[in-house]
């Protein structure tokens, strides 16, 4: 969430953030509630001081009755005001959690993904000398999955890979983790089971009512737990309530976990192939840093994913996401999209996001500045390392051969026992 002082001093900036991000403008109601909270705190402090003064006077007073009566009246007034203050503070807390992050001045302004802009395009889509097969045909002919059988066992939007493609998925995951470790990341294998508050602390949902998550998050009935949709959720809360030394920053984590999403808003989308499931695997890049380092760390994270796209020998492009497409908690966001031959278009494989201090204020994650000894909130950033099986789609489609085999990118061949291709008739 934002700093209340920033909202008080910059209401027009915050109102504009609500407008360009398509969220309800609660700024006036928030400021009125904040003013009443501060007023009631002052009143109760003043009355408490008066009551304490009377309490000191009672033992030596000749006529104690009026003082005792006044003390009782003040106590009741304080109780009434404290009850009103408690209600107002709950309301203020909810309103604070309805204010979106202020987007970067450089972010494209627009209502949705239609306003996104292309920053750069790398690589040229392959010109095939045969009719390329879509992903599901390659999966079928190579016996790399059994979708009907798995759907019957596990339900829709589930998958299971088999044989060499399952090996390739593991090789990709391993390659990305090793690459990030070589770049100074600490690898963490994260649990997928967590508490709803942990998801709330990541700042993806609006307001303070945790039930708002129920359409998107798998809640585990009969428990106080749920399933996380990304390792970012866990990594974000690793340093809750800590004051880190400045010398420890930036902290770079590469988190791997199974990810679970209900995909309630995606009915009918991507029902064929390996794009959208209730469960998938993801390697996530996550950074805690000083706010002034945020832009530098954003480029670092984005470049890592771009390098991975090149290592996988994929044509790709980088998108600047518009204010209406970047979500509630982001300062700026860049999608990295890979070319999908069967669709004749690019599809998103990862999103790089700068969050500012928005998440850190929810988790109370701070650092102590060298020299001044001042305690400040850290900034956080995240980016996909690789999401699987989605990343397999451009890989098998772009690297396919006429006989249905798939060439293995050179970077992955050592992790595939030296093989240069899988599937087909080899």
Verify whether residue 347 is a known catalytic residue.
Answer: no
For residues 220 and 18, give the distance between their C-alpha atoms in angstroms, rounded to a whole number.
Answer: 33
In the numeric block, which tokens belong to residue 266? 């995606």
- Kind of pairing, strands 279-289 and 379-388? antiparallel
Q: What gap in Å lies between CA 219 and CA 64, rounded to an integer?
A: 60
Closest CA to 343 of 128, 135, 117: 135
Q: How far is CA 173 from the centre of its chain?
A: 20
Given 70, 276, 347, 419, the catalytic residue? 276
C-beta of residue 221 within 8 angstroms of C-beta of residue 229 = no
Does the annotation mark 276 as catalytic?
yes
Find the catalytic residue in 50, 348, 368, 419: 348
Catalytic residue among 366, 390, 397, 405: 390
CA dist., res. 10 & res. 20, Å (int): 16
Q: Work out the burial of residue 295: count CB atoms within 10 Å of its CB; fewer than 13 is exposed, 13-18 middle, 19 or more buried.
A: middle
351 has catalytic annotation? yes
d(CA 387, CA 213): 22
Helix axes 163-182, 294-311, angle to 10 degrees: 140
Map tokens 């998103």 to a residue.
348
What's the CA gap between 99 and 33, in Å, rounded? 14
Q: Is there a catalytic annotation at residue 390?
A: yes
What are the structure tokens assigned to 115, written together?
């306003």
**Set 261, 317, 362, 366: catalytic member:** 261
Q: Kindly name the residue from 71, 104, 294, 351 that is annotated as catalytic.
A: 351
Quick check: is 348 catalytic?
Answer: yes
Is 198:88 a contact under the CB 8 Å cutoff?
no
- In degrees rounded to 5, what are phi and psi of residue 221? -55, 140
Catalytic sites, residue numbers:
261, 276, 348, 351, 390
């Amino acid at each position: 969430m934002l700093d209340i002082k920033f909202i008080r001093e910059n209401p027009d900036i915050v109102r504009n953030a609500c407008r360009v991000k398509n969220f309800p403008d609660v700024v006036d109601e928030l400021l009125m509630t904040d003013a009443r909270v501060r007023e009631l705190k002052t009143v109760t402090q003043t009355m408490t001081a008066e009551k304490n003064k009377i309490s000191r006077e009672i033992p030596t007073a000749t006529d104690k009755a009026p003082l005792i009566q006044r003390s009782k009246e003040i106590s009741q007034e304080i109780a009434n005001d404290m009850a009103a203050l408690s209600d107002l503070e709950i309301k203020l807390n909810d309103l604070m959690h309805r204010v979106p992050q202020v987007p970067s001045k450089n972010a494209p302004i627009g209502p949705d993904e239609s306003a996104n802009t292309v920053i750069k395009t790398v690589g040229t889509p392959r010109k095939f000398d045969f009719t390329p097969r879509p992903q599901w045909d390659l999966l079928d002919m190579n016996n790399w999955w059994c979708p009907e059988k798995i759907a019957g066992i596990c339900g829709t939007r589930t998958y299971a890979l088999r044989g060499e493609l399952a090996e390739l998925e593991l090789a990709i995951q391993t390659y990305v983790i090793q690459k990030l470790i070589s770049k100074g990341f600490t690898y963490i294998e994260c649990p997928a089971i967590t508490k709803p508050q942990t998801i709330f602390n990541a700042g993806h949902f609006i307001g303070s009512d945790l039930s708002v998550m129920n359409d998107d998050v798998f809640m585990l009935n009969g428990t106080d737990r749920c399933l996380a949709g990304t390792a970012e959720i866990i990594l974000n809360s690793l340093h809750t309530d800590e004051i880190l030394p400045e010398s420890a920053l930036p902290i770079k984590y590469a988190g791997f976990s199974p990810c679970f999403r209900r995909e309630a808003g995606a009915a009918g989308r991507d029902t064929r192939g390996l794009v959208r499931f209730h469960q998938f695997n993801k390697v996530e890049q996550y950074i805690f840093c000083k706010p002034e380092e945020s832009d530098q760390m954003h480029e670092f994270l984005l470049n890592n994913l771009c390098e991975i796209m090149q290592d996988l020998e994929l044509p790709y492009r980088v998108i600047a996401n518009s204010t209406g497409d970047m979500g509630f908690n982001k300062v700026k966001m860049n999608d990295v999209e890979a070319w999908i031959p069967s669709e004749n278009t690019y599809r998103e494989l990862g999103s790089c996001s700068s969050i500012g201090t928005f998440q850190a204020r929810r988790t109370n994650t701070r650092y102590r500045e060298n020299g001044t000894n001042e305690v400040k909130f850290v900034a956080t950033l995240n980016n996909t390392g690789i999401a699987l099986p989605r990343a397999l789609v451009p890989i098998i489609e772009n690297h396919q051969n006429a006989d249905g085999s798939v060439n293995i990118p050179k970077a992955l061949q050592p992790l595939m026992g030296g093989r240069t291709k899988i599937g087909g008739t080899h």
